[in-house]
Structure 1
Amino acid sequence: MSLNTRRRGAELEVAILDAAWAVLIESGYTGFTFEAIAARAGTSRPVLYRRWPQRDDLLVATLRRHWAAKPIPVPDTGSLRDDAIGFLRNVDQGRTGLMTLISAQLVEYFRATGTNFRELRDSMRPPGQPTGFATIVQRAVARGELADVVRSPRVIDLPFDLFRNEMLMTMRPVTADWITETIDVVWLPLLHTT
């Protein structure tokens, strides 16, 4: 590459993060090395080190660009139940394949760092931004559908956690019946008792 066509700034960063994403998808965390990413991006390792001193810094930047930057729409239908069902359907349509792949490719990352999917997901969210289900619950409280009481984040986000578990166990899209049953039989009664 000549000096006249050398990529710089944002253009170079996008090329690196796109290359890093390709390496992660193809080789998982084990193959997610500065060497592999630099070669794929057509740049040098020192260029990567200047921007991301640690491999995990580059991983988080890559996931932010290719995963967290595409938020899942949170419906606002005026109904707690309909919002929750709609949100899980949006998750199913937008992320099932990606979540399965990323979860499998990051097993070594979770093992090496002692972290988990929830912690990684939370690190992707801008500070102070609620989860999709927290937004749904906040709206329901504001409408008077739910009592204004303190609820555990585990209770609030339970449908998403159960969804992820179902998706990973079956390795296929979650059914509409499963979504409805989870909201109606598990989550809504739990919300009303807390």
Structure 2
Amino acid sequence: MPGETTRRRGAALEADLMDAAWAELEAVGYAKLTMEGVAARAKTGKQVLYRRWSNRAELIIAAMRHRTGSIADRVPDTGTLRGDVLEVLRAGATRQRQIGPDTLHGLLAEARDVGPSFFGIMRGVLRTVVERAAERGEIPTADLPRRVLTLPADLLRHEILLRRELVTEETLVEIVDDVFLPLVARPS
């Protein structure tokens, strides 16, 4: 019938919601982003958002992954531990450039509002990278303490939180060459 609107459902609705969230983020910034603003932009009620995401941090993470993908979908395999860890860190630095430091600061400040999977993804990626390196004989074992395993990502987050400027390649190389590789290369 003329004038009727088609009700969006399923994947199409979720894609529209995440596109609206990204557009709202670009328009107002993370600090001013609200579920109400995203709902208005998506031409829906905020309850539709809250059924899928319990807060704005979860929504923006979903929108970010919808827009740029997840590093878990493309774990680097350069043939060396150094190269793989550098690529993982470069992906994080690229994400910083894509979404901007203000959004990253906002998300990290609200990290406790996000499920444990937010940080678990990077741990899983680094676990895969380290297991490959152990299989190649580059390191004595892939059985690293959790804090050692996540150290490169933790140091990258530290750099992002403490500085407003973009993380440099030199910083990434220092994290890998001066801190991480000496720790994992030690005999067990």
Structure 2: gaps spanning 5 or more residues: none
Letter in 2 for 1:32: T
Are 2:134 and 1:135 aligned? no
Give the 4+ runs in structure 1 shifted more than 6 A: none
Are residues 1:64 and 2:62 paired? yes
Match of 1:184 in 2: 177
RMSD: 3.2
Could you say if the C-alpha distance between residues 29 and 3 of structure 1 is closer, same or farther in structure 2, counting changes exceeding 3 Å? farther
Q: Structure 2 length as normaliser, TM-score?
A: 0.75
- Unaligned runs of 5+ residues in structure 1 are none
User: Quick one: which amino acid aligns to residue 70 of structure 1?
Assistant: G
d(CA) in 1 for partners of 2:13, 2:153: 35
The answer as to whether partners of 2:123 and 2:149 remain within 8 angstroms in 1 is no
61 and 132 in structure 1: CA distance in 2 versus 1, 3 angstrom threshold:
same
Q: Distance in 2 between matches of 1:119 and 1:160?
A: 15
Deviations 1:64-116 (A, max 9, x none): 24237612343312211222223322332x21232623333336634xxxx17
Letter in 1 for 2:54: R
Alpha-carbon distance, 1:137 to partner: 0.6
**C-alpha distance in 2, partners of 1:28/1:160?**
22
Q: Please give the secondary structure, in 1, of the residue aligned with 2:104.
A: helix
Q: Does residue 55 in structure 1 map to residue 54 in structure 2?
A: yes
Contact 2:75 2:125 in 1 (8 A): yes
Deviation of 1:149 (Å): 5.5
Whether contact under 8 Å (2:80, 2:133) holds in the other structure is yes
Letter matched to residue 82 of structure 2: R
Could you tell me which of 27, 30, 39 is aligned with 1:28?
A: 30
The TM-score with structure 1 as length reference comes to 0.73
Alignment-derived partner of residue 105 in structure 2: 104
Q: Is the 8 A contact 1:28 1:105 kept in 2?
A: yes
Cα distance between partner residues in 2 of 1:21 and 1:166 = 25
Q: Is this contact kept in 2: 1:134–1:156, CA < 8 A?
A: yes
Aligned residues: 181
What is the aligned partner in structure 2 of residue 158 from structure 1?
Answer: 151
- What SS class does the counterpart of residue 110 from structure 2 fall into? helix
**1:11 is matched with which residue?**
12
Identity level (%) = 34
